[in-house]
Amino acid sequence: MIQTDNVYRDISLRFPSQIIIGKNSLNKLADEVIAGEYSNVLIITINVLLTKLNPLIQQLNERGITVHINTAIVQEPSFFDFETLLNSVINKPVDAVVGIGGGSVLDIAKLLAAQINNDQSLKDITGIGLLKKRNIKLICVPTTAGTGSEVSPNAILIDDADNQKKGIISPYLVPDVVIIDPVLTYNLPPDITAATGLDALTHCLEAYTNLFAHPFIDMYALEGIRLIANNLIKVIRNGSDENARTQLAIGSMLGGFCLGPVNTAGVHALSYPLGSMFHLAHGLSNALLLPYIMEFNIPTAPDRYAQVARTLGCNSGKTDMDTAYAGVAMIRELIEQCNIPSTLSAAGIKKEAIPAIAADAMKITRLLRNNPRPINLSDAINIYEAAY
Ligand SMILES: [Fe+2]
């Protein structure tokens, strides 16, 4: 039962010191670096953004600031990818790390800022609250409206030893400065816009319906649901709709605030193996499972799912259950309008793989325990089969 009237558990949040939101706010990044008197900046980004970053790099160089650029991260990173990257930069005198990209790029930038000059190994810090400090300035600039990594204390890597996605979760991974520039998302292809937007929506939805939901986080979760539901289709139809792109980016950031103190639940737990075993995009994996896990959870928390439905724009039905199921129908419609695969089979997953996928999902206990209704192995198999 979700806590609604009882005494709430304590939560602790760390926010970025500064969040800059606005069209062309990337232009303010150089001011931040110059004001901080940093002399060696490491930028983690992707190749396609380099042209857009030229003015920034030029501005920094003109002030005598050395800029190192690394574009090695091209997919969801593993422990090995991170260690390789860390070894390539560890001898550089970096005093500020800037991540400009999607969730994988930002996660890696966050971890680099923590691990350059840290005597703790990656293994030492994997888990919750194990990282002891971060000495290097960290600036994050998301270029997708999805992961919320720009404000979250989480970084996710695939462990090469067992192919599991593992979290490094620490308040020291929250960046110092976040720049939300909607212009950077204008050229994002519709399928990536859809998948990342649905990921952000799932962060908010899983936080609001979480077994450990908290009223302070509910505020971010509900507003995030509203902003994403109202703007996702608009930006898929018109990628350069400035107003909608800005609202979507803010919704995604609100989803990021949900990730620290409450976090996600069954959808993310069951979607992780689809990413680690089949390299399905994270947002798409979530979207494939979201309606089915909502249906599974509704009997346990009809009031919460009814509020989700109203926030999505549904009218209240006769009962919370009716309203909640109308919310599932609206989510299905939203996913359909996103024009992405809507079943596991359409996403290329083989049916005979389901038992292995379900067994793998059972290992994601840190998220499964957040789900309002317990999910066991046979539940998971049923959910994957329904989503097939
Ligand atoms: Fe996610």
pLDDT tens readout for residues 13-63? 899 999 999 999 999 999 999 999 999 999 999 999 999 999 999 999 999
As a whole number of angstroms, the distance between CA 91 and CA 211 comes to 44
Q: Are residues 150 and 249 in the same domain?
A: no
Report the C-alpha gap between 29 and 49 in whole angstroms.
Answer: 15
Full-model pTM = 0.93
CA distance 210 to 262: 7
Report d(CA 68, CA 282) in Å as an integer.
29
Å from CA of 141 to ligand 1 middle: 17
The verdict on residue 224 lying in a domain is yes
Going from the Cα of 267 to the center of ligand 1, the distance in angstroms, rounded, reads 9
Measure 259 CA to ligand 1 centroid, in angstroms.
9
Task: Please tell me the distance between residue 203's alpha carbon and the centre of ligand 1 in angstroms.
Answer: 6
Region 228-254 average pLDDT: 96
Same domain for 84 and 101, yes or no, is yes
**Considering the domain boundaries, does residue 2 fall inside one?**
no
Q: Is the pLDDT of residue 209 over 90?
A: yes
Domain that holds residue 210: 188-386
Q: Where are the beta strands (DSSP E) in the chain?
A: 18-21, 40-44, 66-70, 96-101, 127-128, 137-142, 154-159, 164-169, 177-180
Better pLDDT: 267 or 276: 267
Give residue 325's pLDDT: 98
Q: What is the whole-number distance in angstroms between the Cα of residue 37 and the centre of ligand 1?
A: 35
| pLDDT, position 2 | 62
With cut-offs at 50, 70 and 90, classify the pLDDT of residue 8: confident
Do 220 and 345 lie in one domain? The reply is yes
Same domain, 28 and 63: yes
User: pLDDT, tens digit, for every residue of 107-134?
Assistant: 999 999 999 989 999 999 999 999 999 9
Segment 151-205, tens digit of pLDDT: 999 999 999 998 888 999 999 999 999 999 999 999 899 999 999 999 999 999 9
Same domain, 285 and 153: no
- Please give the tally of structural domains in the chain: 2
Is residue 102 included in any domain, yes or no? yes
Q: How close is the Cα of 103 to the center of ligand 1, in Å?
A: 9
pLDDT tens digits, one per residue of 268-312: 999 999 998 998 999 999 999 999 999 999 999 999 999 999 999
Ligand 1 centroid vs 318 CA: distance in angstroms?
A: 33
Boundary residue ending a domain (149, 164, 185):
185
Regarding whether 198 and 168 lie in a shared domain, the answer is no
Task: Output the CA 9–ligand 1 centroid distance in Å.
Answer: 24
Q: In the predicted model, what is the mean pLDDT of residues 237-261?
A: 95
CATH number of domain containing 69:
3.40.50.1970
CB 387 within 8 A of CB 292: yes
Percentage of the chain modeled with pLDDT above 90: 90
- Look up the CATH number of the domain holding residue 282: 1.20.1090.10
Same domain? For 321 and 370 the reply is: yes
Q: Does residue 10 belong to any structural domain of this protein? A: no
Count Cβ atoms below 10 Å from residue 373 Cβ, excluding itself: 16
Domain end marker among 185, 202, 218: 185
pLDDT tens per residue, range 352-380: 999 999 999 999 999 999 999 999 999 99
**pLDDT category, 4, cuts 50, 70, 90?**
low
Instruction: Please report the pLDDT score of residue 146 as a whole number.
Output: 87
**Are residue 24 and residue 168 in the same domain, yes or no?**
yes
51 and 128 share a domain? yes
Q: Tell me the CA–centroid distance for residue 29 and ligand 1, in Å.
A: 26
Asked if 158 and 76 count as a contact pair (C-beta separation under 8 A), the reply is yes
**Is the pLDDT higher at 105 or at 6?**
105
In single-letter form, the type of residue at position 256 comes to G
How much distance in Å is there from the Cα of 92 to the middle of ligand 1? 32
Contact between 268 and 206 under an 8 Å Cβ cutoff? The reply is yes
> Residue 63 Cα, ligand 1 centroid: separation in angstroms?
38
Say yes or no: 233 and 196 in one domain.
yes
Residue 218, pLDDT > 60, answer yes
Report CA-CA distances (Å) from 42 to 20, 39, 257, 266. 20, 10, 25, 36
**Whether residues 50 and 82 fall in one domain:** yes
What is the Cα–Cα distance from 343 to 303, expressed in whole angstroms? 28
If asked whether residues 111 and 232 sit together in one domain, one would say no
| Integer Cα distance of 364 and 381 in angstroms | 15
**Domain end position, chosen among 160, 185, 210:** 185
**Cα(225) to centroid of ligand 1, in Å?**
14
